[in-house]
Structure 1
Amino acid sequence: MADDKTKIGPADSSRININENYEVAYWTEALGISKGKLNEAVEAVGTSAQAVREYLEKE
């Protein structure tokens, strides 16, 4: 089944998919960060939303 691109939130709220524009838009707004910062965090700790939050708290 293909992703429904009309959805504005993540399909799996425990993971961040930086390859889907609607998920990037959701996570940057939810976390209050830029796309670049989101990419940096995901590269540093992986796609776990919890790990990204923890990484950002330490910044």
Structure 2
Amino acid sequence: MDNKQKTTIADRSRININESYEVDYWSNKFGVSKDKLKATVQIVGTSVKAVENYLTK
């Protein structure tokens, strides 16, 4: 089970689309739908920077 109390830098630099709370957080942060976020992660990978760059083009 994912311990949400123990986070590391790696946790903040990656998006885990298998965790609903992360999908909720990142879709709200980037102002996109959950489906758009998941599709973007499928295209560019789980890096927050890569997702942000892709969504702000």
Higher helix share: 2
Q: Structure 2: which 5+ runs fail to align?
A: none
RMSD after superposition: 1.5
Using the size of structure 2 for normalisation, the TM-score is: 0.81
Q: Percent identity?
A: 57
Q: Structure 1: which 5+ runs fail to align?
A: none
Deviation at 1:46, TM superposition (A): 0.2
Secondary structure of 1:13's counterpart equals helix
Q: How many residues align?
A: 53
TM superposition outliers: structure 1 runs of 4+ over 3 Å: none
Using the size of structure 1 for normalisation, the TM-score is: 0.79
